[in-house]
Amino acid sequence: MTTTTERPAARSAAAHAARPAKVRGREQRSPLATVLSHLALITASLIALFPVVYIAYISLGPDDMDYLHPGQILGKATLSNYTTVLNDTDFFSWFGNSVIVAGGTTVVGVMLAASTGYAVSRMRFAGHKQLMWTLLVTQMFPIAVLIVPMYYILSSLQLLDSYFGLILVYSGTTVPYCAWLLKGYFDTIPVEIDEAGRVDGLSPFGTFWRLILPLARPGLAVAAFYSFLTAWAEVAFASTFMLSDTKYTFAVGLQSFVSEHDAQRNLMAATAVLALVPAFLLALFGQKYVIRGLRI
């Protein structure tokens, strides 16, 4: 009896010992790794948010020297800086100019980048690889090197102090990155869709416009968001190529608060917070497409 009962027990023990141990999958992390990753993300978020929160806090100080004593702002916080900016400055002129330049850069830049990325992704013409590498090399030049030749070109074309000239300059800086981005996105779209469009009688442009672009909306959203922010917050080109006060963008308008002997940093902070609102709203309403595009 004892021998018979011991044999099944021995067999179950041997089977348990032979059973392979659980192996943690690639996507499964240990609790320590999860905690550390969350701490790293929280720290990075706080570092990214601190300048924005600090500028918003400084904008509540009524005096232009309150930034030297930020601890005293809380007791006398006011929205008077925002009232002054909206009523006594060219805020709405700056806003309209920024919308024109940033919107034009977004439309022109995304169209050029999308057509370039699609052509390189689908067509094998002579020098298509060299074209993309050339676009990448153009990103290596600093703005200080580009200002002088661009100024000469715009002056020769009589495009200085014009919205269209500034839009072309910004498009030239955004297209290389966006073309690489969209080229990678177009590569993920099956070529059979292009073949189906040709079977239905669509031209290459018709296939691109009616079939490919609707499928590439997440990638287009990322490219549009990048182009808009580049034009919205840029200072060097705008302050050099826009000569009239009536055509200043937000970034250049902020410089009007700085004189030779004084700097109204409270008004600068309030204007910066107001300028942040459109970009924030764009990111808020377009985050679904932006996140999907970044995951590709």
Q: How confident is the model at residue 11 (pLDDT cuts 50, 70, 90)?
A: low
Residues in contact with 108: Cβ distance below 8 Å, sequence separation at least 6, in sequence order: 167, 168, 171
* Domain assignment of residue 250, yes or no: no
Q: How confident is the model at residue 73 (pLDDT cuts 50, 70, 90)?
A: confident
Asked whether residue 1 carries a pLDDT value surpassing 70, the answer given is no
- Report, as an integer, the average pLDDT of 3-19: 52
* Domain assignment of residue 173, yes or no: yes
C-alpha span between 233 and 243 (Å, rounded) = 18
* Domain assignment of residue 138, yes or no: yes
Provide the domain count of the chain. 1
**What's the first-to-final CA gap in the chain, in angstroms?**
66
Identify which has the larger pLDDT, 133 or 10: 133
Asked whether residue 74 carries a pLDDT value surpassing 80, the answer given is yes
Q: Tell me, what CATH number does 132's domain have?
A: 1.10.3720.10
* Domain assignment of residue 201, yes or no: yes
The pLDDT tens digits of the residues spanning 180-231 come to 889 988 988 898 998 898 888 888 888 999 999 988 888 898 899 899 989 9
Q: Which domain holds residue 119?
A: 93-242+286-295
Q: How confident is the model at residue 260 (pLDDT cuts 50, 70, 90)?
A: low
Q: How confident is the model at residue 162 (pLDDT cuts 50, 70, 90)?
A: very high
Q: How confident is the model at residue 27 (pLDDT cuts 50, 70, 90)?
A: low
* Domain assignment of residue 56, yes or no: no
